[in-house]
Structure 1
Amino acid sequence: MDWDKLRIFHAVADAGSLTHAGETLHLSQSAVSRQIRALEVSLNTTLFRRHARGLILTEQGELLFEATRTMTRRLDATAARIRDSEDEVFGEIRVTTTTGFGTLWLAPRLPRLFERYPKLKIDLMLEERVLDLAMREADVAIRMKEPSQADLIRRRLMEVRIRFYASQEYVEKHGLPATPEELAHHRLITHSPASPQVRAGADFVLPFLASNTQSVLTVNSYFGILQGVMQGLGVGALPDYVISETANLVPVLAEDQSAPIPVYLAYVEELRHSKRVTAFRDFMLEEITAYKRNADHVPVGALR
């Protein structure tokens, strides 16, 4: 099968338009159309149907597009590996992790990574959805559970626990709850039960929500919960690493915490020798080591 025609087909399918694909490929619309028609003839099938909004893939076109998408991603990964210099780390690396971990733990440490590798480009994708590394939706994932895919290289980084925190100002004004019964008379700030979250965190918070007699603020991210806590709105359920990242936080019910939540770093086998991925992995391991070393001052609930 002619790769040139497949390349043009992929551009048309991606753009949904002969004109837009031609602009991307620096070809005329008629040249793109001829190549698509020739590909359809060689495959003896129809790949596109015309629609008021542009071109729509047929079932056969969808199958071919999936194949060219996989090929394109693998070629991009191979090209990136080829471009990796022996003496220099540069280029883009796409990192996916949760909004909470990405904003509260990872982002504050990235200046040290950029200082070491100033030509590195980081595309940080913060969302709760688990992106498919095998389909190259991201290069590296930091996940709050062990990846289920067998073909991934994975490394357990640390454990996180969810605990209750309040601001110093809040404690001075409303007092420090010493028992779950006392906590029931304070406003809780927690993850919304309907929002995606780690099971251990949801299980930990649920009994406290059930017994709470005051108002409750629910947010769909730990970053939002932290903002509520810092504004003195109440007592928030947060990952324990925030105590080392945020000043002015006071642990509440220090003995109460969630089950341990493992944090894993993962990437596909084909990126094993990528210098960018290796640089990011080593950076993460160094930061985790330093974080654990400095966690001695954290009260009950520190990393195990």
Structure 2
Amino acid sequence: MDWDKLRIFHAVAEAGSFTHAGEKLNLSQSAVSRQISALEENLRVSLFHRHARGLILTEQGETLNRTVREMFSKLSLTQAFLSESKSKAAGQIKITTTTGFGLCWLTPRLHRFLELHPDIEVTLLVEDDELDLGMREADVAIRMHPPKQPDLIQRHLTNFPMPIYSSRAYLEEHGTPNDLASLARHQLIGFSGWHPPLPNVNWLVELASQTLHTTLRNRIEINNLPAVASAIASGVGIGSLPLYIANSYPNLVQIMKDQPLPIVEAYFVYPEELRTSKRISVFRDFLLAEISNDQKT
């Protein structure tokens, strides 16, 4: 099989159309279509179902794409190793983490990491869906729970508490709750979404419901924790936030300080094959140093 045709096939499979793949590869739609037709003719199988809304891989196409994706993953890893010096951290590092941690904690600190390591280039993927490190969708992840994949190396970074917050304006208008039972008289703000970034993200409304033996509901739910923090800070209501997000919103007021709080466990995660990578180790050390500095202040 011709490598160029496989490269184009993979681009089409990921993009779902000849047109989008052509834009990515800087080729015309007709040139991409010809290459796919030639590959199908060589293999004597159909790789795509063609319809008006785009392309869908056939069973044979799925099989081929899995193999090609693994080939690209291994080539990417090899390229990284070849460009990296054992004594000096260099090359690219692709980081994935949750929206809240990425926006509120990591992004404001990245300039210090880049100053320390001028030969490293960073790609930061900020989203609450977990990427597959084994398939090299990212090099490292900062996750708010222990990893479930057995083939990943994990390093516990720290624990973040999840205090309860409101704004001064809200408290002046509605009063300050002193316990879980009194939350029934207040507007609660929580998280909504299919992929919660934290395992205990809505603990406050759930625990208050158990205490009152009734079902409380969040008055507002948002599928983005920084947006939840913004709503609380602007006076909409009361909610719980991990400390790494709350520290970015100076208008927040912590309340119910005697209430026992859940914690968020932060982990640094990466594949086994990157165990000896210099750029991975210096980024891990940077995270630990930043966390240590936070705890001193």
TM-score, length basis structure 1: 0.79
Q: Give the gaps of 5 or more residues in structure 1.
A: 295-304
Identity score, percent: 40
Q: Residue 163 of structure 2 aligns to a residue in which SS?
A: strand
CA contact (8 A) 1:188 1:209 kept: no
Matching residue of 2:98: 98
CA contact (8 A) 1:22 1:29 kept: no
Q: 2:250 matched to 1:247? A: yes
Q: Residue 123 of structure 2 aligns to a residue in which SS?
A: strand
CA contact (8 A) 1:165 1:237 kept: yes
CA contact (8 A) 1:139 1:268 kept: yes
Which of 285, 292, 296 pairs up with 1:293? 296
Q: Residue 147 of structure 2 aligns to a residue in which SS?
A: coil
The answer to which of 82-91 and 225-234 deviates more is 82-91
After superposition, where does 1:163-202 map in structure 2 within 5 Å?
163-192=163-192, 196-202=196-202
Deviation at 1:197, TM superposition (A): 4.5
CA contact (8 A) 2:246 2:252 kept: yes
- Give distance in 2, aligned partners of 1:251 and 1:233: 15
* Letter in structure 1 aligned against 2:206: L
Deviation at 1:2, TM superposition (A): 5.1
Deviations, residues 164-220 of structure 1 (Å, cap 9, x unaligned): 112334444544322223333232222238662433233443133675989822222
Which of 236, 240, 245 pairs up with 2:239? 236
Q: 2:284 matched to 1:281? A: yes
After superposition, where does 1:141-152 map in structure 2 within 5 Å?
141-152=141-152
Q: Give the gaps of 5 or more residues in structure 2.
A: none
- Cα 1:194–1:21 shift into 2, 3 Å: closer
- Cα 1:63–1:91 shift into 2, 3 Å: same
Q: 2:88 matched to 1:108? A: no
After superposition, where does 1:56-135 map in structure 2 within 5 Å?
56-86=56-86, 88-135=88-135
The answer to which of 45-54 and 55-64 deviates more is 45-54
- Cα 1:171–1:52 shift into 2, 3 Å: closer
CA contact (8 A) 1:185 1:214 kept: no
Matching residue of 2:139: 139
Superposed CA RMSD = 3.5
CA contact (8 A) 1:203 1:258 kept: no
CA contact (8 A) 1:144 1:198 kept: yes
Matching residue of 2:25: 24
- Give distance in 1, aligned partners of 2:231 and 2:35: 59
CA contact (8 A) 1:184 1:213 kept: yes
- Give distance in 1, aligned partners of 2:72 and 2:194: 37
Deviation at 1:230, TM superposition (A): 1.5
Deviations, residues 65-89 of structure 1 (Å, cap 9, x unaligned): 1100111121012102211245654
CA contact (8 A) 2:179 2:259 kept: no
CA contact (8 A) 1:94 1:122 kept: yes
CA contact (8 A) 1:40 1:47 kept: no
CA contact (8 A) 1:8 1:36 kept: no
CA contact (8 A) 2:152 2:271 kept: yes
The answer to which of 72-81 and 241-250 deviates more is 241-250
* Letter in structure 1 aligned against 2:233: M
Q: Residue 206 of structure 1 aligns to a residue in which SS?
A: helix
- Cα 1:105–1:257 shift into 2, 3 Å: farther
Deviation at 1:56, TM superposition (A): 4.9
- Cα 1:50–1:218 shift into 2, 3 Å: closer
- Give distance in 2, aligned partners of 1:246 and 1:20: 41
The answer to which of 160-169 and 82-91 deviates more is 82-91
Deviation at 1:119, TM superposition (A): 4.7
- Give distance in 1, aligned partners of 2:189 and 2:39: 61
Deviations, residues 84-116 of structure 1 (Å, cap 9, x unaligned): 245654443222111122222222222221222
- Give distance in 2, aligned partners of 1:205 and 1:19: 44
- Give distance in 2, aligned partners of 1:8 and 1:232: 52
